[in-house]
Amino acid sequence: MRTVDSIRRIYIDRSLAEGAVVQTVLTRAPSHVQIEWIDDPRAILQDYQESGALVEKEDLLLYRFPGRFLSGCPGSDGMVCCQYFVINLGVGCLFDCHYCYLQSFLNNPLMTVFGNLEDLFSELDERTRNKNFQFRIGTGEYTDSLALEPLTGLSAHLIEYFAGHQNATLELKTKSENVDSLLSLDHRGHTVLAWSINPPALIETVEPGTASLEERLGAAARAERAGYRLAFHLDPLIYFEGWEPAYHRLIEQVFDYVRPDSVAWISTGSFRYSGPLKEVIQTRFPEDRLTRQELVAGPDGKHRYFRSIRAEMFRSIKGKIESVDPRLFLYLCMETQKMWSSVFGFVPGSGKNLDALFEKRRLQMESLSAGPTRL
Ligand code: SF4
């Protein structure tokens, strides 16, 4: 797995020098890392934008984010939405998945972390306190939630913050094995540690730099022992010859490591790309076959496998998961109402209805065990 040891240079906003995140970074940065103090992050960002590089994974920028941290998940036009909220605490990633949408989504090639945690926490207080709603909030939308954790310690602060919030669940989504610094934290059941997974052969070919499946599942097992609720994302689901036994084996492997009762949710979504991303994938990974298959544009303009192929794959995944434990909660990410209907036999009438299914599973887990959900 690619680690923070691969970072060569860190630019740090001088105004954050006394902050907890910067102090942690200064303590933990490997000795070879060059630290550069900066007064104006815009100048650095402009330099990297003008360099023409699409991604820069050896340099990191740490600065004070001036905007709003919390937003609704961008979702996709015409797709069923699950009312998820996103904390934007940084952009870019240490890993290099061929299909990563950030390659065409960001105009900043530099890995970037926002260090003004106190501003984030006051915004979260204002947006979530005294609201009659169970928030699910994740940090894994514009970066991997835990890839940089051994350097920044950011997620540890978030876990401690969310431990005090009865009406919010934090989801940290990763393809790393970086959980060890989180295991002793008093999370009180308010954090779900989640792994995006694919069969080992795909991890090797299209997810360079990420942890192996065994490493991810080993980390999940350690998190389970520390009382965390878990989640898994079979996303992107990739169609290839032999996909069915490979994905069925993947599901079996998950439950060789962890108990179904510890799993809060499982999602799946098919491989998809927008037009600009296709070009980037073909330029950066000329041997890649992902975008050489026949895919069709959906109502949101993204290309996906034919509906019949997606439905077959989703039904097969659903059947396999139900054979492990019919109480496991599976949902589709960025799929149409028609697809929901053909896979599950119903369509969540609104994001709120889907949200009720998350809440049902949360309450079910509470009643299943006094362990994972210490609310
Ligand atoms: S782990 Fe996620 S954010 Fe990082 S490169 Fe892969 S898809 Fe992108």
> Does residue 38 lie within any of the structural domains?
no
* CA 56 – ligand 1 centroid, Å: 13
> How does pLDDT run across 334-363, given as a tens digit for each residue?
898 899 999 999 888 766 678 888 888 988
- 168 - beta bridge partners? 135
> How does pLDDT run across 138-153, given as a tens digit for each residue?
998 899 999 999 999 9
Return the residue whose CA atom lies nearest to atom 7 of ligand 1.
100
Each of the 375 residues of the chain gets a pLDDT tens digit; together they read: 999 999 999 999 999 999 999 999 999 999 999 999 999 999 999 999 888 888 889 999 999 999 999 998 767 767 777 778 999 999 999 999 999 999 998 888 999 999 999 999 999 999 998 888 889 999 988 999 999 999 999 999 999 999 999 899 999 999 999 999 999 999 999 999 999 999 999 999 999 999 999 999 999 999 999 999 999 999 999 999 999 999 999 999 999 999 999 999 999 999 999 888 999 999 999 999 999 889 999 888 899 999 999 999 999 999 999 999 999 999 999 898 899 999 999 888 766 678 888 888 988 998 876 544 443
pTM of structure:
0.95
Q: What is the CATH number of the domain that holds 281?
A: 3.80.30.30
> Does residue 26 lie within any of the structural domains?
no
For the chain, the domain total comes to: 1
Question: Residue 181: which domain range?
Answer: 66-107+115-368
> Does residue 19 lie within any of the structural domains?
no
* CA 104 – ligand 1 centroid, Å: 12
> How does pLDDT run across 200-210, given as a tens digit for each residue?
999 999 999 99
> Does residue 138 lie within any of the structural domains?
yes
> How does pLDDT run across 303-328, given as a tens digit for each residue?
999 999 999 999 999 999 999 999 99
> Does residue 52 lie within any of the structural domains?
no
> Does residue 316 lie within any of the structural domains?
yes
Q: How far is CA 70 from the centre of its chain?
A: 15
> Does residue 33 lie within any of the structural domains?
no
> Does residue 253 lie within any of the structural domains?
yes
* CA 100 – ligand 1 centroid, Å: 5
- 331 - beta bridge partners? 267
Return the residue whose CA atom lies nearest to atom 3 of ligand 1.
143
Pocket test for ligand 1, best of 101, 102, 281 (most atoms within 8 A of CB): 102
